[in-house]
Amino acid sequence: MPKSYADILREVRGQIREVTPTQVAPLVADRGLADPSAPLFVDVRERYEWEEGHIPGAVHVPRGHLEAQVEFAVPDRARPLIVYCAGGWRSALAAKVLGEMGYTDVVNMEGGFQVWKSAGLPWVKPTVLSADQKRRYSRHLLIPEVGLEGQSRLLGSKVLLIGAGGLGSPAALYLAAAGVGTIGIVDFDVVDESNLQRQVVHTTDRIGVKKTESAAASIRALNPDVRVVGHDEMLTEENVERLIADYDVILDGTDTFETRYTLNDAAVGLGKTVIHASVFRFEGQLTVFTPFEGPCYRCLYPTPPPPELAPGCSVAGVLGVVPGIMGLLQANEVLKVLLGIGDTLAGRLLIFDALDGTFRELRLRRDPACPTCGETATAAREAAATPAAVPAVEAAAGVDR
Amino acid sequence: MSHVRIPPVLRASAGGNKVVDIEAATVGEALRALATQYPGLQQQLWGEDGTLNRFVNVYLNDQDIRYLAELETPVTLNDTIVVLPAMAGGAAP
C-alpha cells in the first residue's frame, strides 16, 4: 500500500528519540568538534539556510548528502548527535538514517531551528565566503576539521611574526596561503643578499628594501585576502605589549636572547601563545609556550648564556632548508591553535636533525618557581593590577580624594 | 656505556662529535667525565662553583633531570643523555 509523506513521518517519529530545543540548549559548545566526547549538533538543512544562521559549533551535512558525507564529518559513531533542520521533519528522516548507519546515540530536535531561534537561544551567522574564496580554500573546506567554519575563523585571525627571516619567511607564505586574515610583521631590517639562501619571502630585486615591505609584497601577490601590518621597529621592553596586544598568536622567529625573554615575559602577562623555534646549522628546535598551561621560555632557561657561549646563525651558518622546515612546523602549530584542533607542542620540545633525518621529542615542564609564570610571579602581577581598580571603584562611588 | 648527545653549538668543543659514549653511574659523573675528556666544554657546562650552568638543560632520555634526581640521576646501559643549551639561533637577520 502506498504511503503518504504524513504516513512516513508518523512511522519514522515512532522509531526515533526526540528532544526540544530548550532541553538541549545547555549542550551548545563554542566549538563542537574540539571536544570529541561532547554532543554534536548536526544541521541537515540546505547551504543557503545554514548561511542564514545556525547553532554554534554545529556541523553542516545537508540531508541530500547525508549518507555520503556524514562518515567524514562525524567518524565516531558512538558520539551523541542532535540532528536538526528548519522545522524538525527533514531531521527526523535524517535521524532514522543515522540510526541505520550505526550511529548509536541520535536524537531529533523537535521544531528545528525555527523554534530554537524564536526561543531566543544562541545562534551564529557564518561568514559567507565569496565564490573566489570557495575556490581558493576548497582543499581546506573539504577537511571536516577546518571546513567553512574553520576557514572563516582563519580569515578573522591575527598572527604576529616576530622577524621576517628564515623562520618567518616560510611561515608568512603558508599562513597567507591558508587565509590567515591579518599577518603582522615585526622587523626593522632590510633585505640583504645573504638572506636569500633561506628567507624565501624576499626576492633578489628587493635587496635593500625594508623586510616588512618586501614580505608584504610577496604576501599580497600570493593572497589578496590577507591584510599585512608592518611594524618596522625593533621589539623592545617599551613597545612589546603594544605590538602583541592585538594578535591571537605570536610566532617567534627572532635570533637574540634579549628579544626572546622580552617577548616571553610580555606574552605570559597578556596570556598570548608563542610558537617558538630556533635553528643552528643542521638542527632546529620547536615548542609552543601556552601561558599557564605549559612551561614558558624562562621555565626552561631562567638565564641566557653569556654572549661568547652563544653564537647565532650569522656566525655559525645554517642549512637553508632547516629554518624552512622549522618555520613551517611553526605555521602548523599556529593553524592548530587558531582552529582549536589537534595537540600542540606545549610541554614538548621537538628537535629536528637534518643530517640524520630524525625528530626527537623531549618533555618540558612548568617550573613552579619560574620568575615569570610561577605562582609567586603570578600573584605579584595580580597584586600589581589591583591598586588601579581601587580608585576606579572610589570614583564610581563618588569618593572625593 | 651511556650515550651523551652533544648539541651542535658544543660540537666544536667536543672534537666534532655528535655523540660521546661514557661509562658513568650518574648523569653528573658522565658530564664531569665529558668535560675532563674535552676541556673546552668545562666552561660551557659547569659554573665556577661546580654547578651545572643554568642555561644548559640536561635530559635523560626524554626527561629533564631537574625533575628526576638532578645530577645524581642514575644512568644505565644505553641511556641517552641530551645536553641542550639555550639556542639564540633564529633565522633573522
| Lowest mean per-residue pLDDT among A187-191, A310-314, B5-9, B61-65 | A310-314
Nearest CA in chain B to A309: B44
Would you state the cell numbers that stand for residue A393, as one nine-digit string? Answer: 571603584
Catalytic residue among A85, A299, A313, A373: A313
Query: What was the pLDDT predicted at A281?
Result: 92
**pLDDT of the residue at A254:** 87
Q: Which residue of B has its CA nearest to A306?
A: B55
> Which of A234, A358, A362, A366 best probes binding to B when mutated, by most B CB atoms within 10 angstroms?
A362
- Partner residue opposite B63 with nearest CB, options A257, A311, A363: A363
Residues in chain B: 93
Cα gap A176→A139, rounded to integer Å: 15
Whether A85 sits among the annotated catalytic residues: the reply is no
Q: Please indicate whether, in this complex, the C-beta atoms of A163 and B8 are within 8 angstroms of each other.
A: no
Of the candidates A166, A304, A363, which has its C-beta nearest B86's C-beta? A304
Nearest by CB: A165 against B55, B82, B90: B90
Q: Is the ipTM of this complex over 0.90?
A: yes
Residue B62 to residue A254, Cβ atoms within 8 A: no
Q: How confident is the model at residue B92 (pLDDT cuts 50, 70, 90)?
A: very low
Contacts A167 to B, Cβ<8 Å: 90-92
Q: Which residues of chain A have pLDDT under 50?
A: 31-33, 388-401
Whether the predicted pLDDT of B73 surpasses 50: yes
* Contacts by residues A288-292 (CB-CB < 8 Å, ≥ 24 positions apart): A288/A333, A288/A337, A288/A344, A288/A345, A288/A346, A289/A264, A289/A346, A290/A344, A290/A346, A291/A267, A291/A373, A292/A268, A292/A366, A292/A373, A292/A378
Task: Kindly list the domain boundaries of chain B, sorted by start residue.
Answer: 2-85
pLDDT at A128: 84
Query: Could you tell me which of A186, A169, A184, A167 has the C-alpha nearest to residue A249?
Result: A184
Whole-model pTM above 0.80? no
**Partners of A361 in the β-ladder:** A350
Question: Domain B2-85 - what CATH class?
Answer: alpha beta
Q: Do A165 and B91 touch (CB under 8 A)?
A: yes
